[in-house]
Amino acid sequence: MKNPALFKISILDDNLHFARVMIPLLFLLAGTAPINAQEGEPTGQRTTEGETVEKKFTNKEENALCLKCHANKYVRFTPEGSDQPYIFKMYSDCIIDTTKYYASNHWNFKCVDCHSSDYETYPHLAGLRFEYMATCLDCHGDDPEYAKFHFEKIQEQYEASVHFSKYSNEISCWSCHNSHYYKINARNRDQDIKMTIAYDNAICLGCHANTDNFEMIAERLNPDVTTTHEWLPNQANHFKSVRCIECHAEINDTLLVAHKILPKEQAVKKCVECHSSDSRLKASLYKYQLEEGASLVKDDMIGDAVLIGSRRSTTVNLLSNILILATVLGILGHWSLRIITRKKTKP
């Protein structure tokens, strides 16, 4: 028999391996597109909302002025009036992965569409580090073209979340949705739902499984996600089969992806909330597929996910109850006959 302590350690090791290695790896795969990473030379097409659109880049040459430095680990610079070249190491947060950028929703933006045109002067002025960063509403608010995404409602839900109530100065749209790499995920019909799960969970794990990022915001020790979820049965399978927000966010009828993150005390812990015919996953994880006419019965529409408890059959339930009742009656009948027969055979 296995030692329970060793068995527990083995489970935790497996979970840590998945949460810290596999999910970020899948996230990177989900963001990959056929692009030359070194030169940012895009090829092929992009698919959004099931439609194939040819990419026509109009700002590639202008962006190249910035990316010749910001797409590399090192910057080579010769000051004006000097013939002495200098090589500097680029700060990691300022390095742009051109592969992921040109596969993102903002693929055809100019750098100066969001950043000050003063950045065109190098060396950059120190004060530019404190420039105002536009939010989603600055571009998408009250815009009929983007009305279906409900950006105003997203902002409202975010401001009602625990992220805003505790860390409004530290957490913004871009804390979770990188402005250079964000791409439509949950609305992608062609994507395996497991990739959608990995993509979204990697956003949460970017802080909750990253000690540096977490402690920079919260100024306290980052609790280990596998330890705080020890109560969860079959933990590793849950981590790869549902998103964090399924249990940690309030479902909203208007929004496809919930943004009201709840305090940990309000997280869902009842199995029946998901594993039932009225599963909350139908209004969250599987919402888009169901809105598009899919059915949970059609596994090809939801990947290889199996939602235990969602496909209950009233006929099977009835037959099961009849079988159980017949078994009980049979036992009682047999017991009664034994007593009657025994009494008759007594002298």
**DSSP-derived secondary structure for 173-222:** HHHHS-TTT----TT-TTS-HHHHHHHHHHHHHHHHT-HHHHHHHH-S--
Check residue 295 and give its pLDDT.
56
pLDDT at 342 over 60: yes
Binning pLDDT at 50, 70 and 90, where does residue 207 land? very high
Average pLDDT over residues 267-275: 92
Task: Give the residue carrying structure tokens 């790499």.
Answer: 181
Burial class (CB in 10 A: 0-12, 13-18, 19+), 135: middle
pLDDT at 88 over 60: yes
Listed range (1-5, 104-108, 251-255) with the worst mean pLDDT: 1-5
By percentage, how much of the chain surpasses pLDDT 90? 39
| Amino acid making up residue 141 | G
Average pLDDT over residues 118-122: 87
Check residue 177 and give its pLDDT.
92
Hey, what are 292's tokens? 């598009």
Check residue 60 and give its pLDDT.
85
Q: Are 106 and 179 in contact (CB under 8 A)?
A: yes
Phi, psi torsion values for 200, nearest 5 degrees:
-70, -40
By percentage, how much of the chain surpasses pLDDT 70? 77
User: Of 13-17, 69-73, 168-172, 341-345, which one has max mean pLDDT?
Assistant: 69-73
Rounded Cα distance between 72 and 88, Å, is 11
Bond preceding residue 263 cis, omega within 30 of 0: no
Check residue 258 and give its pLDDT.
93
pLDDT at 131 over 60: yes
Check residue 67 and give its pLDDT.
93
Hey, what are 283's tokens? 């209004």
pLDDT at 193 over 60: yes
Binning pLDDT at 50, 70 and 90, where does residue 2 land? very low
Residues contacting residue 195 through CB under 8 Å, at least 6 positions apart: 26, 29, 30
Hey, what are 96's tokens? 């742009």
Rounded Cα distance between 266 and 252, Å, is 16
The conformational region for residue 216 under phi > 0 = left, psi -120 to 50 = alpha, else beta, is: alpha
pLDDT, mean over the chain: 80
